Amino acid sequence: MNDSKRTSRRSFIKGALQASAALAAVTQFGCAGPGGRRRAAAGKEPSAAKPTVKRPTTQTAYSKVRVAFIGTGGIGGYHLENAAELGVSCPCYCDVDTSSFAQAAELYPDARQYQDYRKMFDKEHKNIDGVMIGIPDHHHYTATMIAMQLGKHVYTQKPLTHTPWEARQLVAAARKYKVATQMGNQGHAKEGWRLVYEWIHSGALGQIKEVHTWTDRPIWPQGIERPEGEDAVPANLDWDIWLGPAPVRPFKKGVYHRFNWRGWWDFGCGALGDMACHTMDGIFWALDPGYPTAIEPVTLTSMNNETFPKAALIKWEFPAKGARPGFVAYWHDGGLLPTIPPELEAGRRLGTTGNLFLGTQAALLVQGDYGDSPRVIPESKMLELGRPPQLLERSPGHINEWVMAVAGEKPIDYPKSNFDYAGPFTETVLLGNIALRVGRRLEWDGPNMRFTNVPEANEYLTKEYRDGWKV
């Protein structure tokens, strides 16, 4: 089927109207861990909930594994709880905002506290085996690279990095330092993405020619300019460390910290960077696309140099690889949705987030961000095909994979979203943001890491780092 049938002008206009309505009504949400959300006051990330688990009172197989936490609020609380359940020890942790220390202090009352992870590494590197990193995107590379240079195993939240260049550097570093790595796209350990892989590799869908991914993000402000003025920095926050490698700007209450940084070019990766490493995971795992040949911003709302657009539709073109033919992948955000495929029965909906894999023999609808509920469509075809043959090993858990490798129970490449997988994945995702920024179709020379038709786009492959933050 051609692109005009799958992504028609009419369907885009319909989606744009939905986006406008959604953005007008949206309130801020914070992440309650993979698979769930909890409501927060506008402009604020919810404070970490009290621990729902307690550390084991007796020794476990992982009691000698020493993990430091960089980021203890938001997703950092999820890291803390899961690590505590496994019984790992924690000599120290770090967060720029001391009001986020409560959960870590309750789970690990003897651990030392820091606001600057550089100082923590300087003082504590001999006391830790690995780190779990859950901080704003613009810090991911610096914290992760320092850890690996010190020989520490690393678990870093998605998106792995802030720029494509950083992603490629972390892949090389992980190989050089021979450490266990994992990107925090927790759905990679779930059953759903494995079923997607198995349906595709068993040939049930035929050849995949087109994939659509959509999200309900952004659920934070985008398409806005930088506010004027300056507010007093709270005593609990080290604003200079929060800025880290990014250019200096004044503190404004509720504008960046704790949640809304995701929409700003200097700090986050927008809706695409926030969710594609979850929601596009099945594409990269099942189809093994390699480098794209081109990335195109099909349409987007107004752009500026401060924040990401309110809504966008992006296209990647992937070449044939082995027996797999070439295919195209589309990303829809800001309320935009793909055209409903004819295979989907009347009365069934796409859902607010998900994927459509369009094959020559059948289609696959995946609703949710984590590959949660893949179903061949129509349902009659699902009943005919049944469950695919098992081709992949099942996971003990996403964080478990990493801890098992850190403990030496499994090899260092045992985590399935290790940087050899997550680095190229993140790099390809973030190329979409560069296409948005320049507003042009970009032709990509992956091996040489450059755009060939719009040379000025190459400046966005990396960024400048403030003094004291270069590694």
* 312 and 167 co-located in one domain: no
In a domain, 271, yes or no: yes
In a domain, 47, yes or no: no
In a domain, 35, yes or no: no
What is the per-residue pLDDT for 14?
39
Question: Per the structure, how many domains does the chain have?
Answer: 2
* 96 and 215 co-located in one domain: no
In a domain, 32, yes or no: no
In a domain, 153, yes or no: yes
pLDDT in tens, the chain (471 residues): 444 334 443 343 334 434 333 333 322 222 334 444 333 333 334 344 454 566 776 788 999 999 999 999 999 999 999 999 999 999 999 999 999 999 999 999 999 999 999 999 999 999 999 999 999 999 999 999 999 999 999 999 999 999 999 999 999 999 999 999 999 999 999 999 999 999 999 999 999 999 999 999 999 999 999 999 999 999 999 999 999 999 999 999 999 999 999 999 999 999 999 999 999 999 999 999 999 999 999 999 999 999 999 999 999 999 999 999 999 999 999 999 999 999 999 999 999 999 999 999 999 999 999 998 999 999 999 999 999 999 999 999 999 999 999 999 999 999 999 999 999 999 999 999 999 999 999 999 999 999 999 999 999 999 999 999 999
* 411 and 272 co-located in one domain: no
In a domain, 309, yes or no: yes
CB 282 within 8 A of CB 425: no
* 386 and 408 co-located in one domain: no
Short-list 244, 292, 11, 255, CA closest to 143: 244
* 291 and 232 co-located in one domain: yes
pTM: 0.90
In a domain, 141, yes or no: yes
What is the per-residue pLDDT for 31?
32
What is the per-residue pLDDT for 372?
85
* 241 and 360 co-located in one domain: yes
In a domain, 45, yes or no: no
Looking up residue 263, the CATH number of its domain turns out to be 3.30.360.10
What is the per-residue pLDDT for 52?
56
* 218 and 334 co-located in one domain: yes
Name, in order, each residue with C-beta under 8 angstroms of 56's C-beta and a sequence gap of 6 or more.
63, 85, 87
* 81 and 117 co-located in one domain: yes
Q: 392 is written with which tokens?
A: 């992949």
Region for residue 366 given its phi and psi (left: phi exceeds 0; alpha: psi -120 to 50; beta: otherwise) = beta
* 332 and 231 co-located in one domain: yes
* 138 and 222 co-located in one domain: no
Residue 88 domain boundaries: 67-187+396-418
* 248 and 335 co-located in one domain: yes
* 321 and 409 co-located in one domain: no
